Amino acid sequence: MLIDSHAHLEMSEFDHDRRDVIGRALSAGVEYIITVGTNLELSQKAISLAAEYDNIFATVGIHPHDAAAADDEILRQIKELARQPKVVAYGEIGLDFFRNISPPQKQVEVFSRQMEIARELNLPIIIHDRDAHEQVLRMVEESGIRRGVFHCFSGDAKMAKKCVDLGFYISIPGTVTFDKAKKITDVVENVPLEYILLETDCPYLTPVPYRGKRNEPSFIVHTSKKVAQIKSLPWQDVARAAADNTKKLFGLKN
């Protein structure tokens, strides 16, 4: 039993073969896929997909890359979408000071306003943090939200401990399968299994042995096997624990 806790099936990379991709995930034993919105249009598309497929749930939010365009009206519409059935979390939201596609100050404002919405609607949050560890941690702490996940975790083991202490899960992507993945390996070693989620972040971050190709939910099995190897556990145990954690966080039925 596997769950892909963070995919982007709504993205145009899957427009030509989405049904096949979802079929392959089912054949590979992927029970649920959480497809994660990153702007207004893609959040709507994520909700449509969740309405179409029993095994897909959606989340809505404005990604830090898209923060520049997020005005009052867009945030109001996203908030409406967040009330739809099958929306299980708010995100992905956060800060990305690596690429700074949106101005940093605007990212901070939009992240803060979206955490307020999530808090009001009592939804867990999905956090995107790239080169912004300290500020993200501080803002999350101040928000009062104690339920969510740091997706594609990029901090060190010390930061992971802080996130777990705040009530958050640590999500491990396919990059853990790469040769020079020392930091994330260290995180996997140190974070107890009950705080770990697994994700593809597809179409991005494709695990070995498919590195270089488009990623898809069926490839989550390779991430699960690598995490299991690091933790010296059977991979099915890791898959089941991560799936149980995901169900608990997002309130999915068992």
Any contact of residue 216 with Ni ion (CB under 5 A)? no
**Residue 10 lies near Ni ion (rule: CB under 5 A):** no
Q: Which listed range, 13-21, 170-178, 193-201, 215-223, lies at the site for Ni ion (CB under 5 A)?
A: 193-201
Stretch that binds Ni ion, among 50-58, 134-142, 159-167, 200-208 (CB under 5 A): 200-208
Q: Which two tokens stand for residue 12?
A: 């145009």
**77: helix, strand or coil:** helix
**What phi and psi values does residue 86 have, to the nearest 5 degrees?**
75, 5
Q: Measuring CA to CA, how many Å separate 124 from each of 7, 53, 211? A: 17, 22, 31
- Site for Ni ion (CB under 5 A): which residue of 66, 96, 201, 216? 201
Choice between 10 and 201, CB closer to Ni ion:
201
Do 40 and 47 form a contact (C-beta atoms < 8 A)?
A: no
Smallest gap from Cβ 249 to Ni ion, in A, equals 16
CB of 64 to Ni ion, least distance (A): 11
Residues 6+ apart with CB under 8 A from 195: 164, 168, 169, 170, 245
What pairing do the DSSP bridges indicate for beta strands 87-96 and 56-60?
A: parallel
Per rule CB under 5 A, count of chain residues that contact Ni ion: 1
Closest approach of Ni ion to the CB of residue 231, in Å: 24
Question: Quick one: which segment of 15-23, 47-55, 99-107, 197-205 binds Ni ion (CB under 5 A)?
Answer: 197-205
Name the site residues for Ni ion (rule: CB under 5 A): 201
